[in-house]
């Protein structure tokens, strides 16, 4: 709750101070408190951040994308857009300092948040290309974005510093040309980004081959790629399943390549992955 809400509920400054001293109110941000403890769900922390940013603030950027179901979260700090002058803190990244148009704001579970279209525009400034493509593909899959509203949001924010608009324009062109790609992990997103970066022909992602789902497939070249994410394939059972799958694919005439998280995520090693794909016969786009 905000201090304003507590005052509106009838608490005096002395009563608020007493409850703080007793631990009945726990400070989260300046002028924003939790009741009795900090063990809040993500929605509670989102609500607190928007309250801290003041009237007409909204959850935005990466956290808006998470609330809309477009991206998973990878950090603890929370993005908010607020029309008032507000410095970022250890817990909040403050953006814009301009009022959001009414048609670029909505609410989910009572939390003010930027619309899907405005969120996609904002994401271009703060996430790498593969994460932006992931969000666009998810919005397309969910049929959550309107092309006209997206164009309007881009026009309103034209002239911003940075390469956000250029990144979004490139991601939209990629989506129109190749359609949304179905990926299941950050490692697959990074692998697809590598393919695009090196201008190789696009694979089919998560395609069924001889009854097994394969991370990336080039059917014409009979090349199958498996990408091991940082959190997967560490148990003996998982490694045995991977080995059996690779053997089945090889027996069926597929060339099987396997790359790990570090190979697809670390820049010096990504070039070696691209070279291995070219050596396996993957053509340029």
pLDDT of residue 185: 87
3-class DSSP state of 35:
strand
In order along its 285 residues, the chain shows pLDDT tens digits of 889 899 989 999 999 899 999 999 999 999 999 998 888 889 999 999 999 998 899 999 999 999 999 999 878 899 999 998 888 999 999 998 777 899 999 999 999 999 999 999 999 999 999 999 999 989 998 899 998 999 999 998 887 877 888 999 988 888 888 888 878 888 999 999 999 999 999 999 999 998 889 999 999 999 999 998 766 555 677 778 888 888 999 999 999 999 999 999 999 899 999 999 999 999 998
pLDDT of residue 160: 80
Do the domain assignments include residue 3?
no
Q: Which of 15, 22, 16 is nearest to 1 (CA)?
A: 16
Residues 237 and 171 in one domain: no
Contact 72, 42 (CB under 8 A): no
Residues 83 and 110 in one domain: yes
Residues 74 and 148 in one domain: yes
* N- to C-terminal Cα separation, the chain: 54
- Counting Cα atoms < 13 Å in the Cβ hemisphere of 26 gives 10
Residue listed under structure tokens 């997103």: 189
Cβ partners under 8 Å of residue 9, min gap 6: none
Alpha helices in the chain (DSSP H): 3-8, 13-22, 42-52, 61-68, 116-126, 129-142, 147-156, 164-178, 186-197, 236-251, 261-265, 267-279
pLDDT of residue 233: 53
**What pLDDT digit, counting tens, does each position of 23-65 carry?**
999 999 999 999 988 888 899 999 999 999 988 999 999 999 9
Do the domain assignments include residue 15?
no
Paired residues of 108 in beta bridges: 111
pLDDT of residue 285: 87
Give the C-alpha distances (Å, rounded to integers) separating 221 from 70, 196, 203, 245, 250: 32, 18, 10, 18, 13
CATH number at residue 79: 3.30.460
Do the domain assignments include residue 29?
no
Contact 8, 37 (CB under 8 A): no
Residues 119 and 197 in one domain: no
User: Cα-atom radius of gyration of the chain, to the nearest Å?
Assistant: 23
Total domains in the fold of the chain: 2
- Counting Cα atoms < 13 Å in the Cβ hemisphere of 256 gives 19
Interatomic CA distance for residues 270 and 275, integer angstroms? 9
Domain containing residue 226: 186-279
Interatomic CA distance for residues 138 and 59, integer angstroms? 19
Residues 154 and 58 in one domain: yes
Do the domain assignments include residue 4?
no
Do the domain assignments include residue 71?
yes
Residues 143 and 102 in one domain: yes
Do the domain assignments include residue 233?
yes
What DSSP string runs through 70-132?
SS----SSEEEEESS-----SSEEEEE-SPPPGGGEEEETTEEEE-HHHHHHHHHHHS-HHHH
Interatomic CA distance for residues 83 and 58, integer angstroms? 10
Do the domain assignments include residue 5?
no
CATH number at residue 220: 3.40.960.10
pLDDT of residue 200: 96
Long-range contacts of 216-222 (CB under 8 A, 24+ apart): 216/188, 216/191, 216/192, 218/282, 221/255, 221/280, 221/281, 221/282, 221/283, 222/253, 222/254, 222/255
Residues 118 and 151 in one domain: yes
Interatomic CA distance for residues 115 and 179, integer angstroms? 22
**What pLDDT digit, counting tens, does each position of 130-153 carry?**
999 999 989 998 899 998 999 999
Encoding tokens for residue 25? 């109110």
């Amino acid at each position: 709750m905000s201090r304003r809400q507590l005052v509106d509920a009838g608490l005096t400054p002395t009563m608020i101070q007493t409850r703080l001293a007793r631990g009945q109110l726990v400070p989260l941000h300046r002028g924003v408190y939790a009741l009795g403890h900090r063990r809040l769900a993500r929605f509670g922390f989102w609500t607190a951040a928007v309250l801290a940013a003041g009237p007409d603030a909204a959850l935005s950027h990466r956290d808006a994308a998470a609330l809309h179901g477009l991206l998973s979260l990878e950090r603890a700090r929370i993005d908010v857009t607020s029309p008032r002058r507000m410095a970022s803190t250890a817990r909040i990244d403050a953006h814009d300092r301009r009022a959001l148009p009414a048609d670029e704001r909505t609410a989910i579970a009572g939390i003010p948040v930027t619309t899907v279209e405005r969120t996609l525009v904002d994401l271009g400034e703060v996430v790498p290309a593969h994460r932006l493509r992931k969000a666009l593909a998810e919005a397309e899959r969910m049929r959550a974005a309107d092309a006209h509203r997206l164009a309007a949001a881009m026009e309103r924010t034209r002239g911003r510093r940075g390469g956000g608009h250029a990144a979004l324009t490139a991601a939209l062109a990629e989506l129109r040309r190749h359609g949304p790609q179905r990926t299941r992990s950050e490692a697959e997103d990074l692998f697809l980004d590598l393919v695009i970066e090196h201008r190789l022909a696009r694979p089919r992602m998560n395609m069924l081959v001889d009854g097994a789902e394969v991370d990336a497939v080039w059917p014409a070249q009979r090349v199958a790629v498996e990408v091991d994410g940082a959190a997967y394939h560490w148990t003996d059972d998982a490694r045995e399943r991977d080995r059996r799958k690779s053997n089945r694919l090889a027996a069926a005439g597929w060339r099987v390549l396997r790359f790990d998280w570090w190979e697809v995520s670390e820049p010096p090693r990504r070039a070696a992955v691209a070279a291995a794909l070219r050596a396996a016969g993957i053509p340029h786009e």
